[in-house]
Amino acid sequence: MTIEVRGLSKKFGAFAALDNVSLDVPGGGLIALLGPSGSGKTTLLRLLAGLERPDAGSAWIDGVDLASQSARQRNVGLVFQHYALFRHLDVYENIAFALRVRKRPRAEVDARVRELLALIQLESFERRLPSQLSGGQRQRVALARALAARPRVLLLDEPFGALDAQVRAELRSWLRRLHDEIHLTTVFVTHDQDEAFEVADRVVVMNRGRIEQVGAPAEVFEHPANDFVMRFLGHVNVLEAELGDGRARIGDVTLAIDSAPGGPGRIYVRPHDVELARAPADGALAARVVRVTPLSSGLKVDLSVPALGSRLRADLDWERGAALGLRDGEDVFLSLRRARAFARPPSAAGEDTTADAA
Amino acid sequence: MTDALAMAARRSARVGPPLGAPIGPPIGAPIAATDEPAWVRRTVIGVAIGFVGLFVLVPLAAVVVEALRAGLAAYGRAIAEPAALSAVKLTFLASAIAVPLNVVFGVAAAWAIARFRFPGRSILITLIDLPLAVSPVIAGMVYLLLFGRQGLLGPWLTDHGIKVVFALPGIVLATTFVTFPFVARELIPLMESQGAEEEEAAIVLGATGWQTFVRVTLPKIKWGLWYGIVLCTARAMGEFGAVSVVSGHIRGRTATLPLHVEILYNEYEYQAAFAVASLLVVLALASLVARRVIARRVEVI
């Protein structure tokens, strides 16, 4: 089932939670709404579920205008951030709820609930109350409950937000596998970039009630549409610069970049695009190692760079880190493999504001 | 205003362990890190127990002793007397009407206040407390002024043969007025703290408004509601002031239990008065027990 959203807006008092948002979710797709808190992603989800009414705009699920349907008629599966399981009902009755209120025959209810209990691997927990389950188990019950009435689309609000890291990782890949099995059009909200990239086919980056960029994870990461997306997706070094003539000037240093807009702007450099060497090379800048921190993926190196008048972060993989053998306080030389520039203040999203330096 | 209500609710007995429940160290032992001298401890505990004994236990015991002074046979006769039985019946009848009315009102008011922001909301919250602030006698007077023979609606009611004052409707009205805060005050803080997410989940899962109320909201507030009903019932059966004004004290007809006790007492029938009063004591003790039992359930949820 496809979801189409056109020009949706929603205000809470003077605060524009959602500002003229349009979006297409293809049938069977798995889409992540990614953004900081207050960016409007949960509001969009609640509008689709019918828990809020839009001030303007429309949305369709499989061609049916949602304005013509109340929340209970939409048959949308919604999983709440804090699950909102019925605390007085056991696991079995929680999952059966949507079928019970539809007055389905007992045998049909039982068959469906058993099927879902098997799906979430909680067959032996059917008589437990929600308060007797762990967070990950509650999460799975909430998902089964949402799926019971065979919803047209599945909406997940920060589905893993309240879980610890290991359970999150397990549930993420479980959700991805589940989606590959049942092919239900799914929209999930998250503020966690790794989560969005790992689970979703497409990522919708949101900020202040607007959509900043839509694309496949790699596309969004490799070609951020603007400085917000650049900064939101992972750590980035930001340098104030004077842009013009395909160059960026920071103090006495000049960097070559393609087709940068003129005037004051910012240069963005990902930590893994900062290359370090022991020996000086052409165009390399002298730097001092402030601190080396081992991370799970490699080494994080904080550097002070006098020529740029600022500090930079460089990420090295283990091999390169071991080869260099850096220690705090040592002198190194750095070069920037790739730097991007965006005009400041950020103009409308588009390729012409992005420039890649060789 | 909501905060005031919530605080009032917190002050009520059910927050924290019920009185007398074992809380940690044995009675008389200092609780953690306090190093008051023994005599301070003993004095404070002694004062508390002494007060309860002097002002609560002794009078209650006196009621029972007086009631049984002339023997069990006399006690039985006083209670089985037609006027006494009629008072019991009237008391239960008035409560049986007033309490359900207040349950409906209380649930509706709590629902509206906890779930919606609407003009007049804070006024409604204030008005719910009004019967607790106003002397019950004044409440009775108001009904007298409205429905009495000389009252505003009196002539119209007389013309249509409807009797409110000095009859059951007046007693029910007065009882309802005096007891109407109890259910609502119990439910408002409870519903506010529980939030509406489960109700939202129910609606998205396809439940109608009524299904959501019966299957989700009611079970969530069940024990709080029972607690409110017990408080409300206890007060309804014991109410004296407001009912006294509107009932007319017609022995055997418009006298509720508390009024019947007064009538007997004024007629110097002390033993009978205390015998009937002991019934009220039993009802009060029963409601105390019910409160203790239910309060634990409210805490669990």
CB of B220 less than 8 A from some CB of A: yes
Range scoring the smallest mean pLDDT among A8-12, A249-253, A258-262: A258-262
- For residue B201, the chain A residues in CB contact (below 8 A) are 78, 80, 84-86, 145
Q: In chain B, whose CA is at the least distance from the CA of A144?
A: B205
Of B197, B207, B219, the CB nearest to A101: B207
Identify whether B189 is preceded by a cis peptide bond (ω within 30 of 0).
no
**A331 vs B166 pLDDT, higher one:** A331
Q: What was the pLDDT predicted at A56?
A: 93
- For residue B221, the chain A residues in CB contact (below 8 A) are none
Interface residues of chain A, partner chain B, Cβ below 8 Å: 49-51, 71-78, 80, 82, 84-89, 97-98, 100-102, 145-146, 148-149
Q: What was the pLDDT predicted at B125?
A: 87
Closest CA relative to residue A197, chosen from A164, A212, A219, A170: A219
pLDDT tens digit sequence for B131-166: 888 888 888 888 888 887 777 777 777 888 777 778
Instruction: Kindly determine whether residue B206 and residue A149, on different chains, have CB atoms separated by under 8 Å.
Output: yes
Average pLDDT, chain A: 87
CB of B299 less than 8 A from some CB of A: no
Q: In chain A, whose CA is at the least distance from the CA of B208?
A: A72
Give B 175-204 residues with CB within 8 A of chain A: 197-198, 200-204
Average pLDDT of span A149-167? 87
Q: Count of CB atoms within 10 A of residue A124's CB?
A: 9
Q: What was the pLDDT predicted at A133?
A: 93
CB of B36 less than 8 A from some CB of A: no
Mutate to test the interface with A, among B115, B203, B204, B299 (most CBs of A within 10 A): B204
Q: What was the pLDDT predicted at B157?
A: 79
Residue-by-residue DSSP string for B4-59: HHHHHHHHSTTSSSPTTS--SSPTTSPPTT----HHHHHHHHHHHHHHHIIIIIHH
Whether residue A295 has pLDDT greater than 90: no
A326: confidence class by pLDDT, cuts 50, 70, 90: confident
d(CA A347, CA B196): 41
A213: confidence class by pLDDT, cuts 50, 70, 90: very high
Instruction: Kindly determine whether residue A86 and residue B208, on different chains, have CB atoms separated by under 8 Å.
Output: no
Whether residue B241 has pLDDT greater than 60: yes
A150: confidence class by pLDDT, cuts 50, 70, 90: very high
pLDDT tens digit sequence for B181-192: 999 998 998 888
Q: What was the pLDDT predicted at A116?
A: 94
A346: confidence class by pLDDT, cuts 50, 70, 90: very low
Range scoring the smallest mean pLDDT among A189-193, A248-252, B107-111: A248-252
To the nearest whole Å, the CA of A39 is away from the closest chain B CA by: 21
Whether residue A340 has pLDDT greater than 70: yes
To the nearest whole Å, the CA of A119 is away from the closest chain B CA by: 19
- Determine what percent of chain A is predicted with pLDDT higher than 70: 94
A105: confidence class by pLDDT, cuts 50, 70, 90: very high
Q: In chain B, whose CA is at the least distance from the CA of A48?
A: B204
Average pLDDT, chain B: 82
- For residue A78, the chain B residues in CB contact (below 8 A) are 201, 204
Q: What was the pLDDT predicted at B194?
A: 86
Of A49, A84, A101, the CB nearest to B198: A84
pLDDT tens digit sequence for B262-297: 888 888 888 888 888 888 888 888 888 888 888 777
To the nearest whole Å, the CA of A193 is away from the closest chain B CA by: 27
CB-defined contacts A:B, below 8 A: 66
To the nearest whole Å, the CA of B198 is away from the closest chain A CA by: 5
- For residue A76, the chain B residues in CB contact (below 8 A) are 204
